[in-house]
């Protein structure tokens, strides 16, 4: 039996039992790994196992972030599984990472590996059992998925775009109507 390796399944997201790693607030650190930016990029290009169409916000601040759309979709590198928004929480709160995960990412030189179906099928079966999903088609053991280019904005790009979209000028006041002249 494969041991499911999960990243960032905090209590705040509603996970219970052995899936949850505790509250997010208790995991926050003042600084992250020296190569945190590269690890964030690695997380961003992971292979999607599931796609969920909901939108969520940062569970601590209530603000939108670059992974708001589909935030709880599951992503993998073939060994580790994380939520699509885990990169945001790593970047914003510098949550600790398991040593085995950071060693793997560094050994791969921060490059997402291909997802080989024959290797990932047992992991997928464990994932299905761990989350209690029913009526799920088995993973195609003959497939090989190549990593896609990064599809999500960096945090800096997201903030810059968000600032560009805000309207400028007087807020809440309509322009004055011109007065009619008296004749």
Q: Take residue 83 and report the two structure tokens written for it.
A: 């939520």
Among 137, 143, 38, smallest CA distance to 91 is for 38
pLDDT digits (tens, 9 = 90+) for 72-97: 888 999 999 998 899 989 999 999 99
The percentage of the chain sitting over the pLDDT mark of 90, rounded to a whole number, equals 28
Q: Take residue 149 and report the two structure tokens written for it.
A: 């280019």
Q: What was the pLDDT predicted at 97?
A: 94
Q: Please compute the mean of the pLDDT values over residues 51-61 and round it to a whole number.
A: 82
* pTM of the full structure: 0.76
pLDDT digits (tens, 9 = 90+) for 66-75: 777 777 888 9
Write the burial class of residue 90 (CB in 10 Å: 0-12 exposed, 13-18 middle, 19+ buried).
buried
Among 166, 165, 172, 120, smallest CA distance to 145 is for 120
Q: Residue 111: pLDDT above 50?
A: yes
pLDDT digits (tens, 9 = 90+) for 154-168: 677 776 766 665 555
CA 120, 92, 108, 113 dihedral sign is positive
């Amino acid at each position: 039996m494969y041991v499911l390796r999960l990243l960032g399944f905090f209590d705040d997201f509603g996970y219970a039992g052995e899936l949850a790693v505790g509250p997010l607030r208790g995991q926050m650190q003042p600084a992250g790994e020296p190569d945190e930016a590269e690890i964030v990029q690695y997380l961003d290009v992971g292979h999607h196992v599931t796609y969920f169409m909901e939108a969520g916000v940062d569970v601590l601040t209530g603000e939108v972030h670059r992974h708001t759309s589909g935030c709880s979709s599951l992503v993998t590198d073939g060994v580790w599984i994380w939520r699509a928004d885990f990169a945001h929480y790593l970047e914003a709160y510098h949550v600790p990472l398991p040593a085995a995960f950071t060693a793997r990412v560094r050994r791969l030189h921060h490059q997402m590996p291909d997802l080989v179906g024959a290797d990932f099928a047992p992991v997928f079966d464990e994932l299905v059992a761990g989350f209690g999903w029913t009526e799920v088609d088995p993973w195609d053991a003959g497939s090989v998925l190549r990593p896609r280019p990064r599809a999500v904005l960096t945090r800096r790009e997201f903030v810059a775009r968000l600032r560009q979209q805000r309207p400028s000028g007087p807020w809440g006041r309509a322009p004055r109507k011109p007065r009619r002249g008296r004749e």
